[in-house]
Copies of this chain bind each other. A is one copy, B any other.
Amino acid sequence: MESNRQWVLASYPNGMPERTNWRLEEGVCPSPLEGEVLARSIYLSVDPYMRGRISPAKNYAAGVAIGECMHGGAVAEVVESKHPGFQPGDIVETINFGWQDFACLKGDGLHKVDPTLGPIHSALGYLGLPGLTAYLALETIGEPKQGETVLISAASGAVGQIAGQIATIRGARAVAVASSQEKLDYCRDLGFADGINYREETDLAAAVRRACPDGVDVFFDNTAGPIHDAVMQNLAPFARIIICGTVSLAGKFDEPDTGLRFMRNILVARARMEGFLFFDHLDKVSAARKQVSDWEKQGLIRHREDVIDGIEHMPEAFLRLLNSENFGKQLVRVRDDPFL
């Protein structure tokens, strides 16, 4: 049997993670127990939530222990099955794969990827955690209405690009915030009505005001930090603020975040701010996937991936994401995609 390469956590980062916080080890390929399948990764996912898993701070899920394989999702191919629902060659997707070649996965509840819905990596993108986060957070918290303004930070990212297109489908005016003109051009091409390059603006609150003259009705916040601050000064009455990610805090994760506070703005606007976590909505995932897939087939949703080849690049891929250097859903391709 082949060996199993895996990235284990070597140390907790002190501020912004560094490549040396992980160590690539080579181990023995595991064997599936009754009810499990052995799967081999094709695509490994890289997502901002992983920053929270390598911090000793309290989080919604247990963190990665030092010496443990780094947590993460994958699209993988079943190579051996001890579960009646799966056979070798099946493509599966799970959040609980880890940064490694092989994993044994419980068959019950395991998501079998339908390759006719789109590229199989889309199960990690617009048909997976980020895309369905965009859909479900807008459906359950944002509720964008015809003519409203929906501002989305990290707008060209895996969540943001889908959120903007869904807002547009709902008849709202999507406004992108991103880190480069190239990314904003892409957002425009997807149908965003306007965009703000936060790296070029000296007065971000004024830039939001210009782009959102009637205020922000829905704020899809993927970053926290200065973009959050600028938007909170431009809330429309009864604004909804989705706290979906805090990637701008990646470099100071274990220290208190201090800065401007917006209690008066929340009160004056009667705004609602709510934390969104995909895992609270697993009962709605199938219907959400069906809807997003339908829109994609109708040409209403497009998507962009940023694929790096080679499991040896996992830490770099993750750091690219934390530094806004990725462009679209960040993936690492571990081996050839059998459907390409």
A66 within 8 A of B: no
- Which residues of B sit under 8 angstroms from A267, Cβ to Cβ? 60, 243-246, 275-277
Query: Are B224 and A268 in contact, CB atoms less than 8 angstroms apart?
Result: no
- Bound Cα distance from A275 to B262, whole angstroms: 11
Q: Is A258 an interface residue (CB 8 A)?
A: yes
Indicate whether A273 sits within 8 Å of B273 (C-beta atoms), given known contacts A256-B260, A261-B259: yes
In chain A between 218 and 248, which residues have their CB closer than 8 angstroms to a CB of chain B? 221, 224, 228, 237, 243-246
For residue A55, which residue of chain B has the nearest CB? B264
Q: Which residues of B contact A95 (CB under 8 A)?
A: none
A-B complex: 5 closest residue pairs judged by Cβ atoms:
A224-B263, A267-B275, A272-B274, A270-B275, A266-B275
Distance of A96 Cα from B252 Cα, bound (Å): 48
Q: A280 to B272, alpha carbons, bound, how many Å?
A: 14
Complex interface: chain B residues within 8 A of A169 (CB)? none
Verify if A69 is at the interface (C-beta below 8 Å from B). no
Question: A228-B263, A263-B246, A264-B57 in contact; A272/B272 too (CB < 8 A)?
Answer: yes
A257 at interface by CB-CB < 8 Å: yes
